[in-house]
Chains A and B, each alone.
Chain A
Amino acid sequence: EPEVTQTPSHQVTQMGQEVILRCVPISNHLYFYWYRQILGQKVEFLVSFYNNEISEKSEIFDDQFSVERPDGSNFTLKIRSTKLEDSAMYFCASSFRAVVNSPLHFGNGTRLTVT
């Protein structure tokens, strides 16, 4: 069964450094999302992306964050200058359609630790 893949599974970085989290969505999916989950807390929406542009973003997704689909397969989340509070699990998700009955398929996540 096709799946969303995320790399790396775990990233440790120092405060102030830039990180890029990578995702390969399911190949025929058109809608892409990033979510984050701070340890033990709820899963929070960051951004949705369609047709090479951001469709919607949350208040968490400030100027320090950016997303890109640099080629036909990868979907990346960049954090320009990481803060301690960016430590979280980051999930990429994709969906074939943007309709209410279409589930989002999630990758296994990247655990980001900012020291």
Chain B
Amino acid sequence: AQKITQTQPGMFVQEKEAVTLDCTYDTSDQSYGLFWYKQPSSGEMIFLIYQGSYDEQNATEGRYSLNFQKARKSANLVISASQLGDSAMYFCAMREGQDSGGSNYKLTFGKGTLLTVNP
């Protein structure tokens, strides 16, 4: 089974509107972290926001917020007041705890959602 699922290959939003990018995850660990990264067309990977499995409050970072629903195993990214510069690929990723085996807690990525902001 996929550890991270992003079901929206592409999304469109009008400038200044809000948009939600979906992410569901699969883990048996109690301790894990969920991350969102932005990849513009230039290719770099930019860290946006983090949510911990034990965090009771949804994470927020400027115009980015995370709608974390632990029981549903979802961690959707909400971008408010979209800007043209938000057009990019967005990746959801998870860092699992020790229960998952392996070490150094690698990040596992979803397939990404390509967001296009229309003027």
Contact = CB atoms under 8 A, between A and B. Distances in A.
Interface of A: 31, 33, 35, 41-45, 48-50, 55-56, 89, 91, 93, 95, 98-109, 111
Nearest to A47: B106
Contact of A43 (B31, B45, B52, B102): B45
B45 A106 contact: yes
A106 B93 CA distance: 13
A50 B104 contact: yes
A104 B50 CA distance: 11
Contacts of A48: 103-104, 106
Interface residues of B, number: 30
B66 to A, nearest CB: 13
Contact of A101 (B33, B45, B104): B33
Contacts of A93: 45, 107
A100 B52 CA distance: 8
Contact of A99 (B91, B105, B108): B105
Contact of A56 (B33, B45, B104): B104
Interface of chain A, helix or strand or loop or mixed?
strand
B43 A100 contact: no
Given A43-B45, A91-B45, A100 B95 contact: yes
B106 A56 contact: yes
B43 A111 contact: yes
Contacts of A111: 43
Contacts of B43: 89, 108-109, 111
B35 A56 contact: no
> Which of B35, B45, B47 has most A Cβ within 10 Å?
B45
A56 B102 contact: yes
Given A103-B47, A109-B44, A42 B109 contact: yes
Nearest to A42: B111
Contacts of A95: 104-105
